[in-house]
Amino acid sequence: MIAIGHATVIPLQKLHICKGLVKANILAGMVAAEGFFAIACCKRISLNEFVGRIMLIIGIQVEPEYDMPRAGDIRDSLADISPAEEALGYHPDYDMNLGLKETIKWFQKI
């Protein structure tokens, strides 16, 4: 959770792109908004699709192993970013695939 001024921006979706979160925090510091705002890419994506995108980027194909669902498991996620759009003027403008490529490239360097 990151608080700037009176607005608190919480990255509720695990798959957010950091550039979007930075943008939301800058916007939060520029307006007189109060509340909690979900920041996400505003597209539903399943874990299988997410893993598939990663495998495509790194050039491997691995068959996933599935286990029984557990309490609290989330099949897919779609955060409601409309409060952030209205109060902060936030609109996602960063492509998830580009963000994944940049993230993977960074991890390959370390």
Taking CA atoms, 46 is separated from 4, 15, 73, in Å, by 31, 10, 12
Between 78 and 16, residue with greater pLDDT: 78
Which helix H or strand E contains 4, and what residues bound it?
strand 2-4
pLDDT class for 42, splitting at 50, 70, 90? low
Nearest partner of 83 among 71, 95, 94, 91, judged by Cα: 91
pLDDT in tens, 48-86: 888 899 999 999 999 988 888 888 887 766 788 899 999
Residue-range domains of the chain with CATH: 2-109 (3.90.25.10)
State the pLDDT at residue 98. 82
Kindly report whether the global pTM for this prediction surpasses the value 0.85: no
- Write down the mean pLDDT value for the chain: 78
